[in-house]
């Protein structure tokens, strides 16, 4: 499914989202999502919401997942009003300000 022309980290988005639902630790998953996809380490955001539904990923997906639809679900659950706050906390924790 990669690379994504909109810089969405598709596998990582799915990994964090799936772990949240398997293990039920919503707070931890949202914090990890914020740091991973918020660009805290890389400097480049890679949120699920960056998907523009170009569907290039569909051709590349060996599992034939409807990736744009699933990314929409990820964004709805992971990108809430506390997202920027989580990123700021993470940057402080790792002295990245």
Q: What is the DSSP letter of 66?
A: -
What is the tens place of the pLDDT at every residue in 34-57?
A: 999 988 778 899 999 999 999 999
Measured over all CA atoms, what is the biggest interatomic distance in the chain, rounded to whole angstroms?
40
Domain map (residue ranges) of the chain: 10-93
Q: What is the pLDDT along the chain (97 residues), one digit of tens a residue?
A: 999 999 999 999 999 999 999 999 999 999 999 999 988 778 899 999 999 999 999 999 999 999 999 999 999 999 999 999 998 888 888 777 6
Q: Residue 63 is encoded by which pair of tokens?
A: 């599992």
pLDDT for the residue numbered 17: 97
CA 35, 20, 22, 66 dihedral sign is negative
């Amino acid at each position: 499914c990669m690379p994504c022309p909109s810089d969405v980290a598709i596998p990582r988005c799915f990994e964090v989202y799936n772990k949240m639902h398997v293990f039920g630790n919503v707070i931890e998953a949202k914090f990890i999502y914020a740091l991973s996809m918020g660009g805290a380490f890389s400097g480049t955001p890679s949120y699920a919401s960056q998907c523009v539904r170009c569907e290039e990923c569909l051709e590349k997906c060996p599992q034939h997942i409807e990736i744009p639809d699933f990314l929409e679900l990820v964004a709805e659950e992971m990108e809430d009003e506390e997202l920027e706050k989580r990123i700021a906390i993470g940057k402080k924790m790792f002295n990245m300000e």
